[in-house]
Each structure stands twice: as C-alpha cells, then as structure tokens.
C-alpha cells in the first residue's frame, strides 16, 4: 500500500511539470504571434502614413468634400451702338451615372425595366434616338452625357417625370450656358460662333475668346456619409469672374443695309458669292463686313441658303468648313482695275505726271509685250491720267508702269500695307501674293499695275484705298472698338493706330478729284453715283487666273463718299457673275449706289453738291499769289486755299520756281477750282475749246470741263442749258 501511493505521487508530479512546460510554450508561441502581428501592424501603419499618406489624404478629402465649379458667364458681343449681337443664357446639361440606376432590391429584371423606361423618357423629352440613349443608360461607364444646353421647359418636364416615377439617384442636372445670336445671320462672318464647350471657333468669338470666356469659380464644402453638405468653417466660395463684353466697330443698321443689297446682287447676277466692306478711312473702323451666301449663327451646322443646301450632303467634313470662312480676310483675289488707283497715286507722288497732261498716254486698243497682246476695252487715243482712269485704259496704265519702274511700285505697295496682314482682329487672316521683285519682267510689271497676276485680300485693298481717302495716311483697320469688364464696368478702348504717311495730302486730294471724275463720267462707273452726294470711285473686272477658269470673273467697285471729304470707303466684289455684262460698273456699281443711298443719310452725313457752286462770297475763294515760289510750296498754298493746281514738271518740285499762274492772284474762284502753274521748265500756253454742255447733268458738265482743265460755276441745278461765258480757264454756266 505504501509503494502504490508513492508511485501515484511520482506520476502526479510528472504531469504537473509537463503541463507547466506546455503552457510556457503556448505563451511563447502566442507572444511571438502577437509580436509578428504587432510588427506587421506597425509596418502597415508606417507604410500608410509615410508612403501612401498623401494619396489617401487626397482621396479622403475628395470623398468628404464637394468641389463644384461655378460657370463664368461668357461676355456679350455688341455693335457700336450697343445692340446685343451675341449673348449667353442660363441652361442645363443632363448626365447620368449608369451604375447607380437600379432597383432598390437589386433585381436585374426591375433594373432593366427602369433603364428602358428612363431611356424612353430621355428620348421623348430631349428628342433623342431611343436606341442610342438606351445604350448610354446601359453603359458601364461612371458617367454619360445625355443632353447639353437644355432649356428650362425641358428640364421641368424631366423633373416632373423623376418625381412621378420616384427616380432620384443617378440623374444629374448641372447648370450651363448657351450662346444666342438675336439677329441670326447678321454679321455671321464677323461674329462667328462657339462649340458645345462654349469656346469660340470662328470670328470674334474665336479671336477674342480669352476676353469673352472669363474665369470659373468654385464651391468647396464638407459632406457627411450620405453626401449631404455639413457646416464647415474651412469651406471656400470663390466667385466666378464673368467674361468681358466686346463692342464692335460694326453698326448693325449699316450691316443690315449692306447684307440686303449684297444678297440681292448675288442672286440677281446668278453669282457664286460676293462680299462688301465699309470702312471709316479716318480711324480704320470697319462699319460693315458682309458676305453672301451666309449662315444662321444659331444653327451653324444646318445650311440656310440654297447654295450650301444643294452641296451639303456631298461635302466632306473639311469641305463643310468652307461655309464659315471669312473670304474678306482668308481669301485672295485679283483686284482688277480698282488697283489702278494705287499706281496712279504713285505716279503723282513721284512727279512722273500730273492729272491732266494732254496727250500723256496713247491707246490703240492694245499694248504689245514680246509676242503677247494685252487688249483694252476700246480705242481711247491720246489721254490724260484722268482719262486713263475714267476709261479704265489698260495700255495707259502699262505705259505708266514702265515710267514708274518696279522698284518705285514695290516701295509704295509696301507703304500701302499690301505686303503684310492688316491684323484687323479676325482669325485666319492671310497675306497677299506678289511677284518676287527680283524676278519681275516688263510684262509682269505692266499687268500688275492694273490688278492682274497679283492677289490681295479685300481687307488689304480697302485699307490701302482708305489711305488715299485719309489725306494719304494709312490707318490700321479694326473690328473691335472697346472691351468692357462686366464686373466693374471698366472700359478699355482700342485706340486708333496711324501706321504711316503713304502719299502727301496734295497727292491724295488729286486722287480724290480724279476718282470723282470717274464716277461723274458717262461710263459704267456712273452706276455708283448717289443723288445729292459726291462720290469718287473706280470699277474693276478681273479675269480668272490661268488654269483656274472655273473661278470666273470678279466684278468689283471701290468708292469713297463724300468725294471731297470722305467719311466712308466701300468695296464691293461679286464673284463669278453669270450675266451677259459681267463688268464691275454694271454688276457692282449699283450695289454701291443702293448701299450708300441709305447708309450716308443714316450716319448723318450731310448731302453735298457735286461740283456745283452757288454764287456768293461763301462759295468762292481768292487765288493766292504763288509766283517765284517753288512748285512744292505753290502746290501747298493752293491746297490750303481750297484750290487745285496743275503743272508740267520733270525736275524737283522743291527746287523749280513758278514763273506764272492762271488765273492771276486775287481772282475769285469757286472752291476746288483749278489753277494752272507755269515754270521756267514749261512756260507753254495751250488753248482749250469749251465743250458743248447742253443737256448734261451738273456732274457730267463738271467732269467734261475738268478734263479740259476748265473750272465751272453752276447756278441752278440739274442741267446746264447754255455755256454763258468762258474766260481763260473759268467757265460759267446756267
């Protein structure tokens, strides 16, 4: 019994020791495991804190905050009188989160039915294709845009549908703006339009996009787990800066008149297209810039004229952009005989000839260069420079070109700004095309002086002619007058910019006088005349380029009004007219007359009498004494007195002295009369036969007498019945 108890005691001791050992091992294993877990946790925390901390913080911020953009309102575009030509209205953009559109219990069949029903509602409310809309609703992408630029009435219909069908998740309605053009087609090629993102892509909308766009604002605030906003003292509200308003130099009324008669001319003459630019020569302001066929700015991707509608479906995407191109800045053309004005001004400025030198040029109906015969419109015989312009005589101009020389011509072409873009303020303006001066031969020199073989843009040409109308000073043309900050109403004026003096004031005055004679002559240029106003101008008819016969002729007319003190310069070009008489005087001349007949009175420009002077002290000037003065000084004195002068000179007019003058000093003459100057170089007197003025209009009589170097004073109006008296170079008629 004692031994047995002893064994039991030993066994018990053994088990106790074994159990302690096992427990210790377990504890050690557990502690080791806990250490590993703790180490991993610390490592993970460190990794999250130091490696991924910045990214996680940003994600948390995004999840816990709302960051909404506040759209800036695009600025308005206004005409020079304040009429709104382009504006933005509040609209909405509708989008969806397809994955959030589902039934409450995630039933696939119910979700399918909801999506089909939603797609049907979208297609009906927004007039969309059902299948395309359903594809967007069933998309797996995070967001899909359903409709942009949606008006309020359609948004109200959508909200009513959502309330009726208890759909509130997955459909987003965000504020947006839409561009509107109240006058539809008016000035389409000046204003341009915007894309779906409210970014200008044509016209002023594009060239002044950075001013019009503005800067968006934003709202930053905290949200709870349900994405509801909660008060947050660190929230931010950054106000949007709205875009600036742009004020154009365009006058909507002048533009409307211009577009009316341009459309009429293009359709009447069955022409391909046409354009008109009207400019104030004194400051470079473009008052109108019209092109036809045109398009509706509110529906720019739908052709509204027959010309484009007939071709639209057959055109490629790139060809369709032709409908939006402003050809007045983005296309070149042969200016034809309108370009003769530039060459004539060079000849006067360089003392190569004067306006009325008898037998100065000769025309037998053509001019030969090598084996090439350059034809004229008629056989004009011996002519003065004035008659060369009146007859639009090509041989006369070709003879003049040879006397001027290519170096002088190119010097003045450059001075007139014809070798550079005008920077008028419209996009995609291109430069002219001229021959390389070093490679010009006599035939090219002869033809380019009357506007063939070289190409300019319409904006370059009217800018150059405006220099003649502005006492010889070239101004930079501009299409924008002011930029107005809509937040503080601060106004930034686009200042007038004088580029250079191209020709003298005296030369400019002589050019205007000859331009007036062109319109007053009995030729087709008289179609550009305006009752009650003096108008000076020049016709042009350019032939299609060699190997480009499909381009057709270009009939053009450039005019200034009033002729003695121009406030308007107008250029009309009609491309490829399909009529029997396609010349500039017949096709473009009437357009000039109709436009100016309405525009001049509208602008408040008073009517003047074309070369008609009533008797009385207020209508006459006293001839100054210029004997023993240099020709240059005498010319200046005569101009300041309101008189014209004529002289034959081969030497330097700053050195040669005047020896005699007719009429003599102290004679009373009507304003703008002619005084003959004689020098030691040329003291030869010539006799002049007074032409028969019976039955002529006042303008025709004045033009006829001017060509003979005779002055005129008309008492009464309309018709000259009998030439009453003529003394030396002054003719008085009733």
The residue among 562, 553, 611 whose CA lies nearest residue 585 is: 553
Out of 21-30, 39-48, 412-421, 689-698, pick the least confident: 689-698
- Report H helices in 148-235: 152-164, 188-191, 203-207, 209-213
pLDDT over threshold 60, residue 86:
yes
pLDDT at 726 (0 to 100): 41
According to the model, what pLDDT value does residue 174 have? 72
Rounded CA-CA distance 143/141 in Å is 6
Confidence of residue 373 (pLDDT cuts 50, 70, 90): confident
**Higher per-residue pLDDT: 28 or 678:** 678
Cβ pair 701, 715 in contact under 8 A: no
Q: Mean pLDDT over all residues of the chain?
A: 84
Predicted confidence (pLDDT) at residue 233 exceeds the cutoff of 70: no
User: Poorest-confidence range of 65-69, 300-304, 606-610, 645-649?
Assistant: 65-69
Q: Give the pLDDT confidence score for residue 280 in this predicted structure.
A: 98
**What is the phi-psi region of residue 612: left when phi exceeds 0, alpha when psi lies from -120 to 50, beta otherwise?**
beta
The neighbour count for residue 123, using CB atoms within 10 Å, is 17
The pLDDT of residue 361: 94
Where does the pLDDT of residue 316 fall: very low under 50, low under 70, confident under 90, or very high at 90 and above? confident
pTM: 0.73
Residues facing residue 484 across a β-bridge: 245, 491
Range from 143-157, 391-405, 652-666 carrying the lowest mean pLDDT: 143-157
Asked whether the beta carbons of 77 and 85 are under 8 A apart, the reply is yes
Q: Using CA of residue 255, residue 258, residue 260, residue 266, what is the dihedral sign?
A: negative
Partner residues linked to 217 by β-bridges: 70
* β-strand pairing of 491-493 with 480-484: antiparallel
Q: Residue 427: which of 480, 360, 348 has the closest Cα?
A: 480
Give the per-residue pLDDT at 123. Answer: 87
Quick check: 644 and 509 in contact, CB under 8 A?
Answer: yes
Taking the alpha carbons of 167, 170, 176, 180 in that order, is the dihedral positive or negative? Answer: negative
What pLDDT sits at residue 704?
66
Cross-strand bridge partners of residue 676: 646, 662
Q: Rounded mean pLDDT of 565-576?
A: 96
The whole-number pLDDT of residue 13 equals 53
Centroid of chain to Cα 584? 24
Under the banding of pLDDT at 50, 70 and 90, the label for residue 141 is confident
Name which residue leads in pLDDT, 720 or 388: 388
Higher pLDDT, 642 or 710: 642
Q: What is the pLDDT of residues 486-533, one digit of tens each?
A: 888 899 999 999 999 999 999 999 999 999 999 998 777 899 999 999
User: Radius of gyration of the chain from Cα atoms?
Assistant: 41
- pLDDT-wise least confident of 15-29, 99-113, 667-681: 15-29
pLDDT > 60? residue 4: no
CA distances to 91, 121, 133, 153, 662 from 129, in Å: 21, 11, 6, 20, 85
> Rounded CA gap, 32 and 478, in Å?
85
Residue 616 banded pLDDT, cuts 50, 70, 90: very low
Q: How far apart are CA 531 and CA 526, in angstroms?
A: 11
pLDDT at residue 273 above 60? yes
Assign residue 268 a region (left: φ > 0; alpha: ψ between -120 and 50; beta: otherwise): alpha
176-186 pLDDT per residue, tens: 678 899 999 99
**DSSP assignment string, 343-354:** HHHHHHHTTS--
Predicted confidence band at 68 (pLDDT cuts at 50, 70, 90)? low
What is the set of domains in the chain, with CATH numbers?
A: 67-248 (3.90.1310.10), 286-602 (3.40.710.10), 617-733 (3.30.10.20)
What is the C-alpha separation between 633 and 84, in angstroms, rounded? 51
- 1 burial type by CB count under 10 A (0-12 exposed, 13-18 middle, 19+ buried): exposed
Report pLDDT for 90: 74
Confidence of residue 471 (pLDDT cuts 50, 70, 90): very high
Using one digit for the tens of pLDDT, what is the confidence trace for 335-353? 999 999 999 999 999 999 9
Q: Which residues contact 92 (CB under 8 A, 6 or more apart)?
A: 150, 152, 155, 173, 174, 175, 176
89 vs 389, residue with greater confidence: 389
Position 61 pLDDT exceeds 80: no
Structure confidence by residue, pLDDT tens digits, 284-315: 999 999 999 999 999 999 888 888 888 888 88
70, 91, 84, 72: which is closest to 211 by C-alpha? 72
**What is the C-alpha separation between 500 and 367, in angstroms, rounded?**
35
Angle, helices 406-415/340-349, rounded to nearest 10 degrees = 110
CA distance 644 to 354: 11
pLDDT over 90 percentage in the chain: 46
Question: Hey, which residues does 586 pair with through a beta bridge?
Answer: none
Average pLDDT over residues 705-715: 65
How many Cβ atoms are within 10 Å of 198's Cβ, its own excluded? 22
Q: What are phi and psi of 259, to 5 degrees?
A: -65, -35
Q: How confident is the model at residue 731 (pLDDT cuts 50, 70, 90)?
A: very low
Residue-wise DSSP of 291-339 = EES---TTSTTS--SHHHHTTGGGS-HHHHGGGG--HHHH--B--GGGG
């Amino acid at each position: 019994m004692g031994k047995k108890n002893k064994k039991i005691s030993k066994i018990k001791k053994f088990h106790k020791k074994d159990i302690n050992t096992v427990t210790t091992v377990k504890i050690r294993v557990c502690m080791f495991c806990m250490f590993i877990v703790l180490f991993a946790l610390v490592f993970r925390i460190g990794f999250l804190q130091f490696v991924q901390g910045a990214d996680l913080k940003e994600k948390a911020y995004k999840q816990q905050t709302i960051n909404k953009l506040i759209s800036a309102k695009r600025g308005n575009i206004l005409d020079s009188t304040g009429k709104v030509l382009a504006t933005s209205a509040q609209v909405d953009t509708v989008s969806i989160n397809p994955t959030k559109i589902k039934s409450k219990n995630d039933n696939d069949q119910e979700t399918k039915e909801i999506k089909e029903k939603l797609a049907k509602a979208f297609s009906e409310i927004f007039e969309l294709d059902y299948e395309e809309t359903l594809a967007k609703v069933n998309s797996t992408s995070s967001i899909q845009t359903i409709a942009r630029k949606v008006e309020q009435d359609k948004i109200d219909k959508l909200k009513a549908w959502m309330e009726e069908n208890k759909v509130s998740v997955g459909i987003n309605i965000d504020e947006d703006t839409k561009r509107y053009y109240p006058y539809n087609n008016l000035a389409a090629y000046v204003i341009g339009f915007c894309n779906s993102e409210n970014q200008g892509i044509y016209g002023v909308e594009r060239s002044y996009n950075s001013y019009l766009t503005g800067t968006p604002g934003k709202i930053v605030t905290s949200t709870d787990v349900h994405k509801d906003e909660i008060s947050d003292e660190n929230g931010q509200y950054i106000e949007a800066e709205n875009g600036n308003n742009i004020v154009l130099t365009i006058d909507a009324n002048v533009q409307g008149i211009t577009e009316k008669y341009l459309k009429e001319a293009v359709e009447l003459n069955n022409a391909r297209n046409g354009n008109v630019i009207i400019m104030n020569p004194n400051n470079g302001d473009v008052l109108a810039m019209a092109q036809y066929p045109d398009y509706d700015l509110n529906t720019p991707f739908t052709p509204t004229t027959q010309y484009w509608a007939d071709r639209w479906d057959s055109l490629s995407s790139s060809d369709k952009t032709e409908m939006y191109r402003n050809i007045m800045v983005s296309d070149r053309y042969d200016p034809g005989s309108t370009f003769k004005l530039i060459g004539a001004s060079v000849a006067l400025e360089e003392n190569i000839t004067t306006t009325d030198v008898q037998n100065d040029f000769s025309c037998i109906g053509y001019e030969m260069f090598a084996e090439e015969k350059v034809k004229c419109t008629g056989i004009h015989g011996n002519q003065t420079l004035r008659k060369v312009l009146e007859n639009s005589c090509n041989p006369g101009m070709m003879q003049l070109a040879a006397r001027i020389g290519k170096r002088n011509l190119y010097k003045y072409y450059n001075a007139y700004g014809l070798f550079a873009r005008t920077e008028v303020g419209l996009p995609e303006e291109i430069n002219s095309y001229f021959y390389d001066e070093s490679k010009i031969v006599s035939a090219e020199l002869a033809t380019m002086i009357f506007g063939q073989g070289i190409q300019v843009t319409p904006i370059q040409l009217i800018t150059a002619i405006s220099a003649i109308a502005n006492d010889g000073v070239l101004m930079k043309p501009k299409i924008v007058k002011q930029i107005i900050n809509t937040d503080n109403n601060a106004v930034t004026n686009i200042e007038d910019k004088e580029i250079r003096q191209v020709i003298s004031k005296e030369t400019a005055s002589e050019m205007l006088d000859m331009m007036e004679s062109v319109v007053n002559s009995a030729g087709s240029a008289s179609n550009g005349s305006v009752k009650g106003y003096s108008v000076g101008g020049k016709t042009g008819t350019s032939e299609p380029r060699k190997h480009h016969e499909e381009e057709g002729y270009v009939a053009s007319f450039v005019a200034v009004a009033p002729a003695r003190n121009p406030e308007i310069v107008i250029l009309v070009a009609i491309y490829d007219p399909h009529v029997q008489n396609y010349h500039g005087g017949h096709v473009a001349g009437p357009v000039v007359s109709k436009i100016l007949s309405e525009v001049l009175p509208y602008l408040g420009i008073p009517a003047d009498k074309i070369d008609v002077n009533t008797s009385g002290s207020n209508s006459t000037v006293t001839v100054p004494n210029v004997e023993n003065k240099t020709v240059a000084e005498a010319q200046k004195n005569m101009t300041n007195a309101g008189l014209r002068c004529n002289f034959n000179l081969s030497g330097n007019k700053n050195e040669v002295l005047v020896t005699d003058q007719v009429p003599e000093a102290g004679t009373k003459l009507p304003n703008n009369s002619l005084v003959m100057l004689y020098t030691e170089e040329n003291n030869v007197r010539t006799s002049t036969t007074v032409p028969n003025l019976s039955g002529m209009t006042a303008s025709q009589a004045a033009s006829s007498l001017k060509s003979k170097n005779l002055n005129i004073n008309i008492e009464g109006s309309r018709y000259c019945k009998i030439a009453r008296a003529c003394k030396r170079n002054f003719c008085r008629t009733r």
